[in-house]
Copies of this chain bind each other. A is one copy, B any other.
Amino acid sequence: MAGLDKVVGSYEEAMAGLEDGMTIIAGGFGLCGIPENLIAQIKKTGVKDLTIVSNNCGVDGFGLGILLEDKQVKKMVSSYVGENKLFEQQLLAGELEVELTPQGTLAEKMRAAGAGIPAFYTATGYGTEIAKGKDTREFNGRPYVLEESIKGDFAIVKAWKADRHGNAIYRLAAQNFNPMAATAGKITVMEVEEIVEPGELPVDQIHTPGIYVDRLIQGTFEKRIEQRTVRPS
């Protein structure tokens, strides 16, 4: 790694510096576009008491779900959880804390963190439990809730292709939370299916500019499907 080249040599190096008690922002929606191998590496390090900010928490045995196996997660900040039994068990046993956050607010909190916006107003959640203890204010006669940005010690994201500088493109619906997550980490680690040379990607078609990416690694992906729905051909 020198100059603008963000490529690291191993998954160990990719997640170096991760410590107990840290906050991790993760891209992905369900099992789609998740940084599978970075999650596996987090499991391998055995760090504990993590706060994980991610729309979902994977399933039993895959995705963020595997971090529950050794009780590495203290708290999840998510919009929708509980697709796995282990999650339910740990939640009911009081071993796991969940901060439910509306999906759009969650995406915007990540973007705001990356964009230097400490807080923003949204109508989402006004008058609900989500708004309890939060400031509210009227604009043009409508009440809004003040939501604060959320930054991670690490952000882990998955893209399709990136050049060595970290300029990245996502494929289809695997984009989802990844672009915002990529901006919200003090250290942003990206794994991709293919690393290309600078100049190979069209300059005006980059989803995540390399300035947000600190470490880049190429991996192989299982890409498990959560709900395989098909029609007869």
Decide if B112 touches A122 in the complex (CB within 8 Å).
Answer: no
In the bound assembly, the distance between CA atoms of A117 and B140 in angstroms comes to 12
Report A136 CB to chain B, min CB distance, Å.
Answer: 12
In the bound assembly, the distance between CA atoms of A119 and B120 in angstroms comes to 6
Contacts A170-B204, A171-B204, A205-B205 given: A118-B121 contact, CB under 8 Å? yes
Q: Chain B contacts of A205 at CB under 8 A?
A: 205
A175 at the interface (CB under 8 A from B): yes
Q: Which of A115-135 contact B (CB under 8 A)?
A: 115-123
Decide if B171 touches A144 in the complex (CB within 8 Å).
Answer: no
Q: Chain B contacts of A92 at CB under 8 A?
A: none
Q: How many identical subunits does the complex contain?
A: 2
Q: Chain B contacts of A175 at CB under 8 A?
A: 204
Q: Chain B contacts of A139 at CB under 8 A?
A: 118-119, 148
In the bound assembly, the distance between CA atoms of A115 and B108 in angstroms comes to 10
Report A186 CB to chain B, min CB distance, Å.
Answer: 14
A1 at the interface (CB under 8 A from B): no
Report A142 CB to chain B, min CB distance, Å.
Answer: 8
Q: Which of A132-158 contact B (CB under 8 A)?
A: 137, 139-140, 142, 144, 148
Q: Chain B contacts of A116 at CB under 8 A?
A: 122-123
Q: Which of A155-207 contact B (CB under 8 A)?
A: 169-172, 175, 203-205
Report A115 CB to chain B, min CB distance, Å.
Answer: 8
Q: Chain B contacts of A123 at CB under 8 A?
A: 116
Decide if A144 touches B120 in the complex (CB within 8 Å).
Answer: no
Of A108, A120, A170, which is in contact with the most chain B CB atoms at under 10 Å from its CB?
A120
Decide if B122 touches A144 in the complex (CB within 8 Å).
Answer: no
Decide if A117 touches B118 in the complex (CB within 8 Å).
Answer: no
Q: Chain B contacts of A142 at CB under 8 A?
A: 118
Choose one: B117, B170, B171, B204; the contact of A120 (CB below 8 Å). B117
Residues of A participating in the B interface, judged by any CB pair closer than 8 Å: 108, 112, 115-123, 137, 139-140, 142, 144, 148, 169-172, 175, 203-205
